[in-house]
Amino acid sequence: MPNREPNDPSIHTSHQLLERVREVLGESLERPLAPGLYLVATPIGNLGDVSLRALSVLARANIIAAEDTRHSRKLLSHFGVTGELTPYHEHNAARERLRLLARIRAGSSVALISDAGTPLISDPGYKLVREALDAGLLVSAIPGPSAALAALTSSGLPTDTFLFAGFLPPKSGPRRTRLEELKSSPATLVFFEASSRVARSLTDLAAVLGPREAAVAKELTKLHEGLTRGLLDELASHFAEADELKGEFVIVVAPPSAEDASATDDVIVANLKAALQKESFRDAVRSVAENLNVKRSRVYELGLALDRGDEAP
């Protein structure tokens, strides 16, 4: 830390800032939370990323449901939050869900947090939210950090349309099958990946998706944060040669190019033939056009040629 003189303007600014934070939190801290389920995002590494609203909700919630209570206790203690913590994870979720919903019905506020980032994003909570909504209970998101968005926005890849696909299957066969399903999505793809599988997943990504641009984000918001960019096969070789990887990773892959995205006539005709076994001509044209993301008129023309017995051009 550089030494600062007593009249250093930055000291004045930081005092003012802290005062203002106290004022903002103070106001809301005095109001009790309405009964409901609060989905509170927490930092993905850098504790400075917690929001003022997250702290104010965590400080006031009657119960804080956390994936790993020991892990979350450390985060909460850091900010002086001492609320009742209860575990909510995949092994106790069915039972805990009923208990938490009953507590909300009885007037409690429940904050759901995960080990890091936004709850429900590759973390528990989806069924809890669904059942709370179905029961007419208040559900409110306190948005904040998520590794998926931090990686996407810093990847240098298109952000207008993206598909968050969570974790790929751990084994190569099912992983490649999943990638075949995602291959023609006209979207930037975002995957979480364990450090032990980054290199093998990149190899499968390169094999199935071909030469697309991609980025591997590592340890976002932390001391060893980094971003490696390149074509998928370049990244696959780079990470295969790297020493044992440590830390947390997100892989971001560019959408297919216009050429890759448009299906060939042969593919359209094959799909159309299959669809005509189950559907009328009109419905088959519509569903094939939607599934392959191609113009209906093109499928229609190829369909007419089929009807006339012409070969696909």
Contact residues for ligand SAM, defined by CB under 6 A: 44-45, 114, 116-118, 121-123, 146-148, 192-194, 217, 219-222, 248-250
Give 58-125 as a DSSP string. Answer: HHH-SEEEESSHHHHHHHHHHTT--PEEEE--TTTHHHHHHHHHHHHHTT-EEEEE-SSBSTTSSSS-
Least distance CB 104 / ligand SAM (angstroms): 22
Q: Indicate the residue among 253 and 292 with the shorter CB distance to ligand SAM.
A: 253
Closer residue to ligand SAM in complex, CB, 42/203:
42
Residue 72 CB, nearest distance to ligand SAM (Å)? 13
Among the listed residues 40, 46, 71, the one whose alpha carbon sits nearest the alpha carbon of residue 58:
40
CB closer to ligand SAM out of 148 and 269: 148
Q: Least CB distance from residue 250 to ligand SAM, whole Å?
A: 5
Calculate helix-pair angle for 172-182, 198-209, nearest 10 degrees: 50
CB of 108 to ligand SAM, least distance (A): 24
Do the strands 213-218 and 249-253 form a parallel or antiparallel pair, or are they unpaired? antiparallel
Tokens of 223: 């001391």
User: Which residue's CB atom is positioned nearest to ligand SAM?
Assistant: 117
Specify which residues 145 forms β-bridges with.
Answer: none
Return the amino acid letter for 214: A
Residue 216, Cβ neighbours under 10 Å: how many? 26
In this complex, which beta carbon is closest to ligand SAM, that of residue 150 or of residue 263? 150
CB of 200 to ligand SAM, least distance (A): 15
230 versus 247: smaller Cβ distance to ligand SAM: 247
CB 247, min distance to ligand SAM, A: 7
Q: Is the dihedral of CA 194, 188, 164, 270 positive or negative?
A: negative
Considering the complex, state which of residue 40 and residue 263 has its C-beta at the smaller distance from ligand SAM.
40
Residue 90 CA: distances (Å) to CA of 40, 63, 64:
18, 18, 16
Residue whose CB is less far from ligand SAM, 118 or 184: 118
Nearest distance in Å: CB 57, ligand SAM: 17
Q: Which residues pair with residue 142 across a beta bridge?
A: 40
Residue where the block lists tokens 């990244």: 235
Contact 123, 50 (CB under 8 A): no
